[in-house]
Amino acid sequence: VIKCKAAVAWEAGKPLSREEVEVAPPKAHEVRIKIVATAVCHTDAYTLSGADPEGCFPVILGHEGAGIVESVGEEVTKVKPGDTVIPLYIPQCGECKFCKNPKTNLCQKIRITQGKGLMPDGSSRFTCRGKQVYHFMGTSTFSEYTVVADISVAKIDAAAPLDKVCLLGCGISTGYGAAVNTAKVEPGSTCAVFGLGGVGLAVIMGCKVAGASRIIGIDLNKNKYAKAKEFGATECISPQDFQKPIQEVLVEMTDGGVDYSFECIGNVGVMRAALEACHKGWGVSVIVGVAAAGQEISTRPFQLVTGRTWKGTAFGGNSLLAGNSVPKLVTDYMSKKIKVDEFVTHTLPFDKINEAFELMHAGK
């Protein structure tokens, strides 16, 4: 058993608490990882807020991490101690019908136990003050050591800087993949990206890499425009600057609508606007943002009857089977095909993790 520091969420709506936790050794088909760097994501904040119906407490949150394999349980063959890895919140078992279908990356092998905050055998590897602590998204990267299923880990280039590539554990991979894998943006196309946070910037980067000729960023926070343009946005607009709905503005700006639109906020009203900003006959709108539990989307069916497509994406559709997995993204970063360093705004010591959440909520 390893004793180490972790940020524990004892209950919903309260700041994370810095604790000493015990991390049990890995069992069969499990891997214990020394987490070197982790990022914070709105998904962590969503669960911490208490709005997540799957949220369970006490829990160690975090799902954008990178580290070194410390030890492995029996029957683990894909990684060994010393390997550099990124934990995967969507695993890749390679055996279930989802993994065998190139149309999806939604492996279901450990979905039920993962959703309950437990390892595949139905137990936890974390204890703190004598209490069992739940896992989160199969990763729990807000701990100096964590235990994950062997199908939930991607071995990456040992030379990669972990304080940067940890972002490929969720945000960048999700946005970039939404553009190149899910939407399959084509050269010369026109795109609109709603929400210019980390995921939105990654979508812009994906659109640019795919050869889009016009990329319009939409956000209420104009402080984000300069960064968006650095990533490839050709122009940025705020819905507050117009008297009419933003979808009507975009339809006028683009002679009938955009070819591809992306909603990166998790707001169902914006999801509708993103669909209706698409061009009749061929426009594709991708939902990337996660809306709160119980919310529903709506539009007039005529929008779809007249040739628009509404799609969703999880983890950017990245899968080993389709050849666009996390290790490949790390390779693309190392060869300067994609940006990662530019996404990092602040680097804080682990003790200041609550401050990191405050910066995120402030849009900084």
The CATH number linked to 265 is 3.40.50.720
Strands annotated E in 167-308: 190-194, 214-218, 235-237, 260-263, 284-287
The reply to whether 250 and 209 lie within a common domain is: yes
Dihedral over Cα of 238, 240, 243, 244: its sign: positive
Q: With contact defined as beta carbons under 8 Å apart, do 247 and 269 qualify?
A: no
pLDDT of residue 53: 87
**Do 192 and 287 lie in a common domain?**
yes
List all residues 6 or more positions away from 243 whose beta carbon is below 8 Å from its beta carbon: none
- 26 and 144 inside one domain: yes
Asked if residue 239 lies in contact with residue 220, where contact means CB atoms within 8 angstroms, the answer is: yes
Domain membership flag for residue 349 = yes
pLDDT value at residue 136: 98
CATH number for the domain spanning 143: value is: 3.90.180.10
**3-state SS, residue 20:** strand
Neighbours of 257 (CB within 10 A): 24
Domain boundary among 279, 295, 312: 312
Is 360 within the bounds of a domain? no
- In 3-state terms, what secondary structure has residue 352? helix
Q: Which residues contact 294 (CB under 8 A, 6 or more apart)?
A: none
Q: Is-contact 177 324, C-beta < 8 A? A: yes
Same domain, 18 and 92: yes
Indicate if 164 and 179 belong to the same structural domain: no
List of residues 6+ apart from 258 with CB closer than 8 A: 190, 191, 192, 216, 250, 277, 278, 279, 283
In a domain, 361, yes or no: no
Q: Are residues 193 and 143 in the same domain?
A: no
pLDDT at 364: 87
Number of domains within the chain: 2
Residue 8 lies in a domain: yes
Amino acid at 108: Q
Same domain, 211 and 278: yes
- Calculate the CA 158 to chain-centre distance: 22
212 and 114 within one domain = no
pLDDT in the model for residue 80: 98
Position 362 in a domain: no
Query: What's the pLDDT score for residue 293?
Result: 85
Same domain assignment for residues 128 and 156: yes
Residue 363 in any domain: the answer is no
Per-residue pLDDT of the chain (364 residues), as tens digits, is: 999 999 999 999 999 999 999 999 999 999 999 999 999 999 999 999 998 888 999 999 999 999 999 999 999 999 999 999 999 999 999 999 999 998 999 999 999 999 999 999 999 999 999 999 999 999 999 999 999 999 999 999 999 999 999 999 999 999 999 999 999 999 999 999 999 999 999 999 999 999 999 999 999 999 999 999 999 999 999 999 999 999 999 999 999 999 999 999 999 999 999 999 999 999 999 999 999 889 999 999 999 999 999 999 999 998 876 777 899 999 999 999 999 999 999 999 999 999 999 999 998 8
Helix, strand, or coil here: 192? strand
Domain boundary among 295, 312, 329: 312
- Strand bridging mode 190-194 / 153-155: unpaired
Predicted confidence at residue 324, as pLDDT, reads 73
Among 280, 295, 312, give the residue marking a domain's end: 312
Residues 129 and 247 in one domain: no
Query: Cβ(208)–Cβ(175) under 8 Å?
Result: no
Asked if residue 81 and residue 92 are part of one domain, the reply reads yes
- Residue 17 and residue 256: Cα distance in Å, rounded? 51
Q: Helices 246-253 and 268-276: crossing angle, nearest 10°?
A: 20
Q: Are residues 208 and 157 in the same domain?
A: no
E-state strands within 209-349: 214-218, 235-237, 260-263, 284-287, 309-312
- Which amino acid is present at 41? C
β partners of residue 191: 215, 260
Residue at 305 is within a domain: yes
Range of the domain at 111: 2-170+318-355
Q: Are 29 and 149 in contact, with CB atoms under 8 Å apart?
A: yes
Nearest 10 degrees: Cα torsion 355, 356, 361, 362: 70
| Residue 364 belongs to some domain of the structure | no
